[in-house]
Structure 1
Amino acid sequence: MTQASLRTSTLELVPLTPAHLPQEIELDSDPDVMRYLLNGRPRPLEDIVTAHHRRLSVAKDHPGFGFWAGLLDDAFVGWWLLEPSIGHDDEAEIGYRLLPAFWRRGLASEGSAELLRHAFEDLGLQRVFGTTMAVNQGSRATMSKIGLRHVRTFHEHWDEPIPGYEQGEVEYAITRDEWFARP
């Protein structure tokens, strides 16, 4: 299975391509977007290009998985990911990164819900999880909204601690059975 294009009621999720690099540069250069990643510092261009090539390789190495560019009326919203978990063939990590102009409109949840459907219905996965900093209330709310539940808090080592790091990281998850049993 190749990486499919996906659609919601308002979003088109298309496989990330080399043509999306300028939008990724805009996204990873925004201090608000990078708040919980690099303490608000833009990611260096060289790092963005390296990350872009790594993102493209996910779909090549793992058919059906990958990164999707989200489009709303042909405007780039951000990206979503469904990446296989290392050492677990039946689970994946979900994630998203949106431009601030599209925050608080339900789009992160909408795109992520479609990736959950894809994960469980199309790929037959058993578990999907996401992680974020405990202080990132927006991302936590998105994961809760799509049905993931908090399963653990853990602590990472930070070379350059970000405010709130002392509260740790959180993992949210949903299983296939939980997803199919939802109302």
Structure 2
Amino acid sequence: MFATTHLLLCPYTEADLDDLMHLRNDPRVQPLMTTGDPAPHRDGPQFKKRLRTQMESAVFSAIVRRRSTGEFIGQVVLHVPERKNRDGTYGVCLLPAFWNRGYGSEVTAFVVDYAFRWIGLQRLSLSVFASNERAVAVYEKAGFVIEGRKRASVWSNDRWEDVLFMGILRDEWIERISILEQ
């Protein structure tokens, strides 16, 4: 388990599946995290199996909890599909009740630091809907830069969405922490 100022990043356990299902089924969360059909499906054993596989296959995965109460607020995952290239893929998802409280920034800063300091990545990448301005601001605050845009690529909320590709390089992270440590 890891602790930040306000959060606990806990190892995933089977007991977390119901909370993860609740998170993934929230109608405010679902359209922000999937490019597939946001169907009201997600309560069966197949979906639980998919969630379990996602958490267990990650290089780093954690259940995010409030430090003060232990309350479930979301999940974070870091995948490294090709270890040779040391390029990780980052994902974070929080329950809407915890949006706009700085938790996304806090967990993202921790995982970026962890990815470079302890996993030894060369870069960390992510994708995000361009309309999710709150998430884009969190990622930019952590040092990610927009590297590309796939225009009108996903149909969501009755309109076409652009997808942004963002990344941060090890050298950029080193420069950021050097400035912060001065």
Q: Report the TM-score range of the alignment, normalised by the length of the smaller protein.
A: 0.7 to 0.9
Q: Which residue of 2 aligns with 1:68?
A: 62
What is the aligned counterpart of 1:44 among 42, 45, 48?
42
Q: Is the 8 A contact 2:90 2:126 kept in 1?
A: yes
Is the 2:21–2:43 Cα contact (8 Å) retained in structure 1? yes
C-alpha displacement of 1:133: 1.3
Report SS of the residue matched to 1:151.
strand
Q: In structure 2, do the counterparts of structure 1 residues 100 and 167 end up closer, same or farther at CA, with 3 Å as the change threshold?
A: closer
Whether the 8 Å CA contact 1:135–1:164 is kept in 2: the answer is: no
Once the two structures are TM-superposed, the CA of residue 157 in structure 1 deviates from its matched residue by 5.5
Q: CA deviation at 1:7?
A: 1.8
Distance 2:79 2:116 in 1: 13
2:93 paired with 1:97: yes
2:91·2:126 contact (CA, 8 Å) conserved in 1?
yes
Q: For residue 62 of structure 1, what is the aligned residue in structure 2?
A: none
Letter in 2 for 1:56: M
Moved more, 139-148 or 163-172: 163-172
Q: Which runs of no fewer than 5 residues in structure 1 stay unpaired? A: 60-64
How far is 1:86 from its partner?
A: 4.2
Secondary structure of the residue aligned to 2:20 is helix
1:16 aligns with 2:15: no
Aligned partners of 2:165, 2:30: CA distance in 1, in Å? Answer: 19
Residue 57 of structure 1: aligned partner = 56
TM superposition score normalised by structure 2: 0.84
Counterparts of 1:138-157 in structure 2, within 5 Å, are 138-155=134-151
Unpaired runs of 5+ residues, structure 2, are none
Q: Structure 1 residues 43 and 104 mapped into 2: Cα distance closer, same or farther (>3 Å)?
A: farther
Aligned equivalents of 1:111 and 1:69: distance in 2?
11
Give the Cα separation in 2 of the matches to 1:148 and 1:129.
Answer: 8
Quick one: structure 1 residues 164 and 109, their matched pair in 2 at CA, closer, same or farther if it must change by over 3 Å?
farther
Corresponding position: 1:31 with 2:30: no
Report deviation, 1:55. Answer: 1.8
TM-score, with structure 1 as normaliser: 0.84
Aligned equivalent of 1:123, options 119, 123, 126: 119
Whether the aligned pair in 1 keeps the contact of 2:86 and 2:123 (CA below 8 Å) is yes
Runs of 4+ in structure 1 over 3 Å off: 38-43, 85-89, 155-158, 163-167
User: Percent of aligned positions with the same letter in both sequences?
Assistant: 26
Q: How many residues align?
A: 172
